[in-house]
Homo-oligomer: A and B are copies of this chain.
Amino acid sequence: MDIEFPSKLVQKVIDELSRLPGIGQRTAMRLALYILSQDDNYAASLSEAVKNMKDNVKHCEICHNISDNDICSTCANPKRDHSIVCVVEDVRDFIAIEETGQYNGVYHILDGVISPINGIGIDDLNIAGLIDRVENDKNIREIIFALPTTVEGETTALYLYKKLSDKGVEINTIARGVAFGDELEYTDQITLGRSIVNRVAYQTR
């Protein structure tokens, strides 16, 4: 906003909120005024939750997922299949897969993908941790790559493949193809083209 806000205290909150992704100055103002309009508990509760999260959240020592404990609830869960490790870019992709309810293995969170343009190299990611994990945990028999289909994602998958291919584990990647319910005429050419090239045996079920 071009004008001086009538309260520097509110302006400060607007400035902080507008640093968030997808939140502009105007949305930040709306949010700040909403927080101000709520009873005292909300502002205090929001403020405390943010501070408490940042001060106390840990990363799981095994998979590097965010966690309240040294070992996350997935890695600590004996009902999970610890012989299958799904490699994802970040926590959001972990959540997306968990929400399907179709996967019972464990995870490895890379905290990003290799991206020289953005200055993200191998050492910035949790890659050494994955290689160590596969070498040391003889229980692991399968790695699944669930990485983005971008240049960065593909580069990361290729690098990991090279590092892991001699470790005696099966290396798979999630299936790519025409989404369920998608109409062929509206499917992008690359997806449709690859789905024909990479066709699979028809299964009745």
Interface code A133-166, partner B: CB below 8 Å = 1, 0 otherwise? 0000000000000000000000000000000000
A-to-B contact residues, CB < 8 Å? 1-10, 12-13, 15-17, 19-23, 27, 29-36, 40, 42-57, 60, 65-68, 72-74, 90-92, 94-95, 98-99
In the docked arrangement, what's the CA distance between A6 and B68, Å? 8
Q: Which residues of B contact A22 (CB under 8 A)?
A: 27, 30
Most buried by B among A6, A44, A54, A98: A6
Q: Which residues of B contact A92 (CB under 8 A)?
A: 29-30, 33
Stoichiometry (number of copies) = 2
In the docked arrangement, what's the CA distance between A49 and B9, Å? 7
- A65 nearest CB across to chain B (Å): 5
The 15 sampled A-B contact pairs (Cβ below 8 Å) are: A3-B98, A6-B60, A6-B94, A7-B53, A7-B66, A12-B53, A16-B49, A21-B30, A30-B92, A32-B53, A35-B54, A47-B48, A47-B50, A47-B51, A50-B50
Beyond the given A5-B95, A46-B50, could you list 5 further A-B residue pairs with CB under 8 A, ordered by the A residue number? A17-B46, A43-B50, A43-B51, A44-B51, A44-B54
Q: Which residues of B contact A23 (CB under 8 A)?
A: 31
In the docked arrangement, what's the CA distance between A121 and B45, Å? 29
Q: Are B43 and A9 in contact (CB under 8 A)?
A: no
In the docked arrangement, what's the CA distance between A106 and B36, Å? 23
Q: Which residues of B contact A29 (CB under 8 A)?
A: 92, 95
In the docked arrangement, what's the CA distance between A44 and B54, Å? 8
Q: Are B44 and A21 in contact (CB under 8 A)?
A: no
In the docked arrangement, what's the CA distance between A55 and B57, Å? 27
* Chain B minimum-CB-distance residue to A91: B33
- Nearest first, the 7 A-B pairs at minimum CB distance are A43-B54, A47-B51, A47-B50, A16-B46, A9-B53, A12-B49, A47-B47
Known: A16-B45, A51-B44. A66 touches B31 (CB 8 A): no
In the docked arrangement, what's the CA distance between A68 and B7, Å? 5
In the docked arrangement, what's the CA distance between A98 and B67, Å? 46
